[in-house]
């Protein structure tokens, strides 16, 4: 039973390029969360998606960042025109359901973006 | 607004001793879940333990237990019989609804 799969594990981009991070949730999970972790810091919520719907994107920067979770295929976190401050680990997590008293989030191993 | 606070940036514990990692939270939701995750140096996030706000008993998972004091809004993690492999970052999290909020983490070092 495969866990949450993220790729690429490591991504290097030059300033101004685009970064695409992919996340395949655990089988049967229809809820996906993206978090960003800066060095020496905790995880900051970015966006919560269900299939074909963005439920909560209150943690997403207003510009350059977008996320989707299509009916078929992985969830994509897209960062356009990357800047050095975007360098971070981006974690995807999935859950089988939402609401109070849910079970845990299942995390992927993260995608580490380095912007040169 | 929900908030998670971990006030211990770093902790040291002797091998085989017990250690408590502090976590306090703030929420106006009557129903919520509290979680602890471990992040070793390799970077992955490992789920450790979960406590529901309506659970009457403190959660336990092997050497991990959660000291849940609802009136004080605290959910401290207790690790018994520490092992060298317990050295890692530990994050407390709360999950009512759409967002799971994480604390800033506590770095635990187990000393041989």
The tens place of each residue's pLDDT in chain B, 112 residues long, gives 668 999 999 999 999 999 999 999 998 888 888 999 999 998 888 989 999 888 889 999 999 999 999 999 999 999 999 999 999 999 999 985 667 889 999 999 999 9
Q: Is the pLDDT of residue A70 over 80?
A: yes
Most B CBs within 10 A among A42, A94, A114, hence the mutation to make, goes to A42
What pLDDT does residue B30 have? 84
What pLDDT does residue B2 have? 63
Produce one character per residue of B73-92: b if its CB has 16 or more CB atoms within 10 Å, e if not.
Answer: bbbbbbbeebeeebbbbbbb
Contacts of A105 in chain B (CB under 8 A): 35, 47, 93, 95, 100
Cα separation of A97 and A114, whole Å?
32
Cα separation of A107 and B80, whole Å?
25
What pLDDT does residue A110 have? 94
What pLDDT does residue A98 have? 55
What pLDDT does residue A104 have? 74
Q: Which two tokens stand for residue A108?
A: 């992927």
- Using the 8-state DSSP alphabet, how is residue B59 labeled? -
Q: Report the chain A residue with the minimal C-alpha distance to residue B40.
A: A109
Q: Residues near B97 by Cβ (< 8 Å), separated by ≥ 6?
A: A98, A99, A100, B29
Please identify which residue in the block is written with the tokens 């529901």: B52
Q: Give the three-state DSSP class for B85.
A: helix
Task: Kindly report, residue by residue over A1-38, the tens digit of the pLDDT.
Answer: 568 999 999 999 999 999 999 999 998 888 899 999 98
What pLDDT does residue A97 have? 66
Q: Which two tokens stand for residue B99?
A: 């967002």
CB-CB under 8 Å, A104 with B53: no
What pLDDT does residue A15 have? 97
Cβ atoms of B10 and B33 closer than 8 Å: no
Q: Which two tokens stand for residue B52?
A: 């529901």
B49, with CB counted inside 10 A (0-12, 13-18, 19+), is buried
What pLDDT does residue B100 have? 81
Task: Kindly report, residue by residue over A89-116, the tens digit of the pLDDT.
Answer: 999 998 876 544 456 788 999 999 999 9
3-state SS string over chain A?
CCCCEEECCEEEECCCCCEEEEEECCCCCCEEEEEEECCCCCEEEEEEEECCEEEECCCCCCCCEEEECCCCCCEEEEECCCCHHHCEEEEEEEECCCCCCCCCCEECCCEEEEEC
Cβ atoms of B35 and B49 closer than 8 Å: yes
Q: Which two tokens stand for residue B41?
A: 């140096």
B45, with CB counted inside 10 A (0-12, 13-18, 19+), is buried
Q: Report the chain B residue with the minimal C-alpha distance to residue A97.
A: B97
Q: Is the pLDDT of residue A74 over 80?
A: yes
Q: Is B80 on the interface with A (CB under 8 A)?
A: no
What pLDDT does residue B56 have? 85
Cα separation of A114 and A86, whole Å?
8
């Amino acid at each position: 039973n495969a866990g949450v799969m993220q790729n690429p594990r490591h991504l290097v981009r030059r300033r101004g390029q685009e970064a695409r991070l992919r996340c395949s949730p655990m089988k049967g999970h229809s809820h996906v969360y993206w978090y960003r972790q800066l060095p020496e810091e905790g995880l900051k919520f970015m966006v919560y998606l269900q299939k074909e719907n963005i439920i909560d994107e209150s943690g997403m920067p207003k510009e350059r960042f977008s996320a989707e979770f299509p009916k078929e295929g992985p969830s994509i976190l897209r960062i356009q025109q990357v800047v050095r401050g975007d360098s971070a680990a981006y974690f995807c997590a999935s859950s089988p359901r939402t609401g109070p008293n849910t079970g845990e989030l299942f995390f992927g191993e993260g995608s580490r973006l380095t912007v040169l | 607004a929900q908030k998670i606070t971990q006030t211990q940036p770093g902790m040291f514990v002797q091998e085989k001793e017990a250690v408590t990692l502090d976590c306090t939270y703030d929420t106006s939701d009557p129903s919520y879940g509290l979680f602890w995750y471990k992040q070793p140096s390799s970077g992955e996030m490992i789920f450790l333990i979960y406590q529901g706000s309506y659970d009457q008993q403190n959660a336990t998972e092997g050497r991990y237990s959660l000291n849940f004091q609802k009136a004080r809004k605290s959910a401290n993690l207790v690790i018994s019989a520490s092992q060298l492999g317990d050295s890692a970052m530990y994050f407390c999290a709360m999950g009512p609804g759409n967002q799971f909020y994480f604390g800033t983490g506590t770095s635990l070092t187990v000393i041989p």
